[in-house]
Amino acid sequence: MRILIVEDEPEIAQLLTEQLQDSGLECDRAATIGDALMALKSFAYELVLLDRRLPDGDGLAAIPQIRGLRPNMRIIVLTARDAPLDKANGLDAGADDYVAKPYDRAELVARIRARLRQTSATPLPPIQIGAIAFDHATGQLTIAERPFVANRREFCLLEALVRRVNQVAPRNVLLQEVYGFEEAVLPGALDTLVSRLRKRLHELDSKVVIHLVRGRGYLLTEDVP
């Protein structure tokens, strides 16, 4: 699950990114309202973590534009403006939640996960392919009923492929979901990562195969003897 952090203070943005990634959430960052809207036009996110004091205006002013681009986007305002009237204004502006700085990390992650669970009125059933299972609600991947333990990029790649099981996952989509829009990616990096993931899945007897579809991307299917 990928979220967009809109925060202009580099140290705070970096700390948030590290904390949320440690909790299994993938993050991209934008420092202004303009950058955030550009990112939302280009990439699919499930939640925006939005500061108020931004170089090009109050983050609340961007909420209608965000809703126009992504009507079902979850928006949590994270700001030092913590007066009761500020919170009321934030919620009235259309935010789904309002969290004051300084924040408690565990509470913030719990609030994010709660909002992510609300992105669909009807919970999606777990995906099962071979020995792999993926739970949409928790974001947990298991192989043979054991948690899939991997580095961040391997985990993101497998999740992206499992979400599109039996469908070709385009290269540009995989690059976005694994590396984000901020990171410069070396040519061949995705192919190297796929090769490494294939080896892991074979070692874990996952009973799935990752196929290269030339000129398009990759395809995950069950390994049929």
Six token digits for residue 13: 């943005």
Q: What is the dihedral of CA 25, 30, 31, 34, to 10 degrees?
A: -150
What size, in residues, is the chain? Answer: 225
Predicted confidence pLDDT, tens digits, the chain (225 residues): 789 999 999 999 999 999 998 888 888 999 999 999 988 887 778 899 999 999 999 999 999 889 888 888 899 999 999 899 999 999 999 999 999 998 999 999 999 988 887 755 556 678 999 999 998 777 789 999 999 998 889 998 999 899 889 999 888 888 878 887 666 788 899 999 999 999 999 999 999 999 999 999 999 999 987
The two tokens of residue 186 are 């070396």
Distance (Å, rounded) from C-alpha 105 to C-alpha 202? 36
Contact call for residues 82 and 91 (beta carbons, < 8 A) = no
In the chain the domains, ranked by start, together with CATH numbers, are 2-117 (3.40.50.2300), 127-222 (1.10.10.10)
- What is the structure's pLDDT at 181? 67
DSSP state of 124: P
Quote the pLDDT of residue 71.
81
Output the CA torsion sign for 100, 183, 133, 136.
Answer: positive
Question: Which amino acid would we find at residue 149?
Answer: V
pTM: 0.65
Query: Which residue is associated with the tokens 């992504």?
Result: 70
Of 55, 91, 46, the residue nearest 73 (C-alpha): 46
Q: Residue 120 burial (CB < 10 Å; 0-12/13-18/19+)? A: exposed
Contacts of 72 (CB under 8 A, 6+ apart): 119
How far is residue 72's CA from residue 220's CA, in Å, rounded to a whole number? Answer: 28
Q: Which of 80, 34, 96, 22 is CA-nearest to residue 61?
A: 34
DSSP 62: G
Pairing verdict, β 217-222 and 208-213: antiparallel
Alpha helix ranges (H) inside 97-211: 105-117, 152-163, 171-179, 189-203
